[in-house]
Amino acid sequence: MFHCTQRLLLRPIWPEDWQAVHSGIADEGVVRNLARAPWPYGPEDARSFVELPVDPMYPRFLITRSRDAALVGCIGIDPHGTDVELGYWIARPHWGQGYATEAARGVLEIAATLGYKSLFASHFLDNPASGKVLTKLGFVPTGRIVNRHSCGRGEEAPTAEYSLDLTAEAADWRSAA
């Protein structure tokens, strides 16, 4: 599955992408904000990631810039208990440029097309930038702060949880700035 936004192409992750993935995520500042990526993040971790099977109901994308195909990061949805969770990472050179919000809006469109009625997301409390992205997208804080294990940190850390209603009646997320 492919999806175009104004500046980005969200595309499948292919095995030959392992070096680009590794170069984008092998940064402690990126990995510490993720739950499942280990630190240090080595070439074998990238190879394993790009070879993971993808369930069409839980797509995962490489985020690339449309103008030059440069890797920006990765984004996707995954099952999380009874919820469907939005997750992403952006390579450090692309922080602060609105790419996370733009890519996530594209994935929200895909999730709605797949029939999901709501999404879940969370961020580590020491990563408020991710909370700002979620808020821009229309996610609402649930009021729950829960500890979540971070492989990159090697320990649990507190996260703030958010939810988003994707139904047509709650379509504000489609026009969120």
28-62: b (≥16 Cβ within 10 Å) or e: eebbbbbbebebebeeebbeebbeeeeeeeebbbb
Lookup: tokens for 138:
């229309």
How much of the chain exceeds pLDDT 70, in percent? Answer: 94
Amino acid at 93: P
pLDDT in the model for residue 66: 96
pLDDT in the model for residue 94: 97
Domain residue spans of the chain: 3-175
In which band, very low, low, confident or very high, does the pLDDT at 169 lie, cut at 50, 70 and 90?
low
Backbone angles phi, psi at 32, to 5 degrees: -65, -15
Pairwise CA distance, residues 159 & 87, whole Å:
13
Q: pLDDT, tens digit, for every residue of 14-24? A: 999 999 999 99
What does the angle CA 166 – CA 168 – CA 171 come to, to the nearest 5 degrees? 65
Pairwise CA distance, residues 51 & 92, whole Å:
23
pLDDT in the model for residue 161: 98
Third-level CATH fold of 3-175: Aminopeptidase (3.40.630)
Q: Which of 165, 97, 172 is nearest to 133 (CA)?
A: 97
- Range with lowest mean pLDDT among 59-63, 128-132, 173-177: 173-177
- Range with lowest mean pLDDT among 3-7, 87-91, 101-105, 173-177: 173-177
Lookup: tokens for 17:
């992408």
Neighbours of 24 (CB within 10 A): 25
**Is residue 60 within 8 Å of residue 74, measured between CB atoms?**
yes
Lookup: tokens for 99:
């790419």
Q: pLDDT, tens digit, for every residue of 42-98? A: 999 999 999 999 999 999 999 999 999 999 999 999 999 999 999 999 999 999 999
**Is residue 78 within 8 Å of residue 58, measured between CB atoms?**
yes
The answer, yes or no, to whether residue 174 has pLDDT greater than 70, is no
